[in-house]
Structure 1
């Protein structure tokens, strides 16, 4: 498919505008890949950023993919992941659990509908219960594989904007990704425990 195809888009934000639940870009009626990163940017329905532009370059032209839906492990908008960490540290545990559970509930139908599920959070999503539950939701409890554009030296799924020797060449096939250490997880629809 030509890089000149018309790119359409949509985005879903919270009423306060501080959380982005999903962002979609599509160029055909074929199914959309699901891409999960760590934190959303300010990109919206009509506004792209470097990550969205790079995702289009990496995904457009792949057979069976007509676009992509971007979701995030945490839905709070933060153009710098350190800002997200500061914000999360200031939240009470109950609020954070409710917010993260709601995000997992939104991920499930998107993961079910996607022809391919791509993880791309680099080294930014720390291993632990939250990461395990995000992985379980995206893979539908391990029933479907997760893919990555490439891996960091530590085996994490590389971010689309990786630079230098880590930059993902256009046209490179996706690779199957598995977390370094698999831990049992509760189903994504259960409430998080203390």
Structure 2
């Protein structure tokens, strides 16, 4: 498996992380907050994504983006950092991230949402969803859903753990489509 990652010059933001095993297009996976995984260093989430996506027809790898690109291995650290930012700077950072997500979503064969319960519904979440789906034109998928309809994170444990080979489902802000044409 080959890999790359793009970080800010200060190293505190990860804009994207790529893993690929063939020349086929890469799935786009959006989660909440980036980890410290890099171009040649995996973490448990990246290893699980590989296991969940490798072998799916038409997918030769994946690109990971995040609703917020600030590296924070603990979501509480991200929330504290977000709360400490001035509004204008935060808006500029988030808009640049949304522009990146929208550009990457353009040619992705599948766009996966996988943030668990960590992305709070509201204006920022709506903007992330709009960027990923090109304003509702392109479908979004999930591995599965939490009990309250959030898209399951790849490292979900226990009863919510996603079995390998399970079909992806179309996700619409907390609902899934179970029709055969919605499955991948």
TM (norm. structure 1) is 0.89
- Who is 1:128 aligned against? 122
Q: Is the 8 A contact 2:145 2:174 kept in 1?
A: no
- How much is the aligned-residue C-alpha RMSD, in angstroms? 0.8
Deviation readout 1:4-42 (Å, 9 max, x if unpaired): xxx000000000000000000000000000000000000
Q: 1:34 and 2:28 equivalent?
A: yes
Distance 1:108 1:130 in 2: 14
TM (norm. structure 2) is 0.94
- Who is 2:172 aligned against? 178
- Who is 1:191 aligned against? none
1:81-160 to 2 correspondence within 5 Å? 81-160=75-154
User: Would you identify which runs of 4 or more consecutive aligned residues in structure 1 move more than 6 Å?
Assistant: none
- Who is 1:59 aligned against? 53
Deviation readout 1:35-60 (Å, 9 max, x if unpaired): 00000000000000000000000000
Once the two structures are TM-superposed, the CA of residue 180 in structure 1 deviates from its matched residue by 4.0
- Who is 2:13 aligned against? 19
Aligned pair count?
Answer: 175
Once the two structures are TM-superposed, the CA of residue 108 in structure 1 deviates from its matched residue by 1.2
Distance 1:156 1:67 in 2: 24
